Amino acid sequence: MAGDDSYLRIERVTKRFGAVVAVDAVDISIGAGEFFSLLGPSGCGKTTLLRMLAGFETPDEGEVYIDGQPVSGQPPHLRPTNMVFQNYAIFPHLNVARNVAYGLRKEKLPRQEEDRRVEEALEMVKLGGYGDRRSNELSGGQRQRVALARALIRRPKVLLLDEPLGALDKKLREDMQIELRQLQQSLGITFVFVTHDQEEAMTLSDRIAVMADGRALQVASPKEVYNRPTSITVADFIGQMNFFEARVSETAGEEAVLDAAGFGRMRAKLGGAALQPGASIVAALRPEKLTLSPARSDGAANAVEGVLEAAAYLGDRSHFHVRVAGLERPVAVAAQDWAVGGGDGLDEGAPVWLTWDNDSVILLESERR
Ligand SMILES: Nc1ncnc2c1ncn2[C@@H]1O[C@H](COP(=O)(O)OP(=O)(O)OP(=O)(O)O)[C@@H](O)[C@H]1O
Ligand SMILES: [Mg+2]
């Protein structure tokens, strides 16, 4: 990631449609050359925010700055941005080259220069030589590359991509993810990428803004969002998570002792959180941070007994559900080994132990879920 971390600055931007607050006081700074993703469920305001960056919508409040300049008064074609739309719109009646050249229509270049730029853009997306192909003779992935080339041909400093891979099947999408990342790195331009797929956001991004209800709840690297979510909503949206209601019974130095329903005492690292004894909180635990074994093992900070309720073998990993007395929901456990505790898998209904470290526990403020 290149130097300036506020090349694209979104400052308290709000957008309403009637009574709907589509984007609600969003503050985000994006660096030059950064691959930045807006991640969140359908309707959370991703497209609306992207359209304000592109200039297709105007904020009701707040301002967008690009390279230090406020851009609200600027129409899309005068901004150093370009957008690849959610439902990729390439023209079926134009061939590939004419589709890509459409991106240059405002620039009125001599034909030769235009042809050169078209070929250059097609090379970037690995479609060199495809110019004469009819658009309806392309695969979904190739069509998406044409849309990309059309956006790149204007040489934008910021490329805005609205779920560009959403229509592709899983395998093709994964291939295109790698290509997109390589393309972004070789061009060195800023990407703002919209997706509701958390794995896609994690794979591609330098940083992610996790959005819900028009707000940016957390802006951080994929690792940080996964390992240190700052709210229940973020923790719930990214990956799988077990949540336990708990009360702080004592704190000593870096450690807190919690009184958790079903578990009794649970030891957790405070990690900077200032918690008072008596406070109600939520303790969160990733399934892969729990160790499942047929007998109680020594050494772990936390241990609880339960009953194996379900086990699913997925090849590269296995998923287990463990019923713990006093808990409404079973505890989800993920492990790489199917054969826990050295055996060839445990029978459903078998008594088991769960153990975990104190620094695996994420302490979150209670909120209505
Ligand atoms: N032109 C519009 N007029 C009225 N309401 C709109 C308009 N555009 C968006 N909205 C509303 O604003 C909210 C945010 O919509 P937006 O399209 O930004 O969501 P999104 O995160 O892109 O969702 P998706 O993942 O489904 O594309 C939604 O409640 C939507 O219905
Ligand atoms: Mg959208």
3 lies in some domain: no
Cα 29 to Cα 12, 32, 192, 219, distances in angstroms: 11, 10, 11, 9
Q: Among 277, 280, 282, 247, which residue's Cα sits nearest to residue 265? A: 247
Residue with tokens 């998923």: 319
CA of 87 to the centre of ligand 2 (A): 9
How does residue 167 score in pLDDT terms, banded at 50, 70 and 90? confident
Q: At 343, is the pLDDT very low, low, confident or very high (cuts 50, 70, 90)? A: low
Least confident of 171-185, 225-239, 304-318, 341-355: 341-355
Q: Are 239 and 226 in contact (CB under 8 A)?
A: yes
Cα 255 from chain centre: 31
Q: Which of 80-89, 204-213, 262-271 has the highest mean pLDDT?
A: 204-213
| CA quadruple 266, 268, 273, 276: dihedral sign | positive
| 173 vs 87, more confident | 173
User: SS3 letters for 200-227?
Assistant: HHHHHCCEEEEEECCEEEEEECHHHHHH
Q: Is residue 195 located within the same domain as residue 311?
A: no
Q: Are residues 213 and 130 in the same domain?
A: yes
Which residues form the domain of 332? Answer: 242-365
Indicate whether residue 44 lines ligand 1 (CB < 6 A).
yes
In terms of C-beta density within 10 A (0-12 exposed, 13-18 middle, 19 or more buried), how is residue 163 classed? buried
Claim to verify: residue 250 and residue 291 sit in the same structural domain: yes
248 and 229: one domain? no
Check whether 20 has a pLDDT greater than 90.
Answer: yes
Strand pairing report for 215-220 and 20-30: unpaired
Query: pTM (2 decimals)?
Result: 0.90
> Which one, of 139, 102, 97, 137, lies nearest residue 120 by Cα?
97
- Which pLDDT does position 2 carry in this prediction? 43
Q: Does residue 12 lie within any of the structural domains?
A: yes
Mean pLDDT score, 47-60: 97
> What is the percentage of the chain residues whose pLDDT exceeds 70?
96
Q: How far is CA 199 from the centre of its chain?
A: 7
Q: Model confidence over 275-295: pLDDT tens digits? A: 888 999 999 999 999 999 888
Taking the CA of residue 196 as reference, the ligand 1 atom at the shortest distance is 25
pLDDT tens digits for range 92-102: 889 999 999 99
Span 61-85, average pLDDT = 94
Residue 33 falls inside a structural domain: yes
Q: Based on the number of CB atoms within 10 Å of its own CB, is 134 exposed (0-12), middle (13-18) or buried (19 or more)?
A: exposed
In ligand 1, which atom is closest to the CA atom of 40? 21
End of a domain among 237, 254, 288? 237
For atom 19 of ligand 1, the residue with the nearest CA is 43
Residue 127: pLDDT band (50, 70, 90) is very high
Q: Same structural domain for residues 335 and 286? A: yes
User: Where does a domain end: 220, 237, 254?
Assistant: 237
Whole-number Å distance, alpha carbon 157 to ligand 1 midpoint, is 26
The count of C-alpha atoms lying within 13 angstroms of the C-alpha of 341, restricted to the half-sphere facing its C-beta, is 16
Q: Is residue 2 part of a domain?
A: no
* Same domain, yes or no: 297 and 353: yes
Distance CA 296, CA 357 (A): 14
Tokens standing for residue 135: 């658009």
The pLDDT tens digits of the residues spanning 226-279 come to 999 999 999 999 999 999 999 999 998 889 999 998 878 999 998 777 788 899
Identify the residue whose C-alpha is closest to ligand 1 atom 17. 47
Q: Answer whether 304's CB lies under 8 Å from 263's CB.
A: yes
198 in Cβ contact with 204 (< 8 Å) = no
| Total domains, the chain | 2
**How many other CB atoms sit within 10 Å of the CB of residue 209?**
26
Q: What does pLDDT average to over the chain? A: 90
Q: Which residues contact 308 (CB under 8 A, 6 or more apart)?
A: 292, 320, 321, 322, 323, 346, 347, 348, 349, 350, 351, 352
Judge if the beta carbon of residue 195 lies within 6 A of ligand 1.
no
Token representation of residue 221: 């690297």
In short, whether 215's Cβ falls inside 6 Å of ligand 1 is: no
The reported pLDDT for the residue numbered 1 is: 43
Q: What is the pLDDT of residue 264?
A: 83
Distance 273 CA to ligand 1 centre (A): 35
pLDDT score, position 340? 63
Nearest ligand atom owner, CA of 43: 1
CB distance 22 to ligand 1 below 6 Å: yes
Between 169 and 26, whose confidence is greater? 26
| CA dist., res. 361 & res. 275, Å (int) | 14
CA of 281 to the centre of ligand 1 (A): 33
Q: Given 237, 256, 282, which residue is the final one in a domain? A: 237
Q: Are residues 49 and 175 in the same domain?
A: yes
Q: How far is the CA of 213 from the centre of ligand 2 (A)?
A: 13
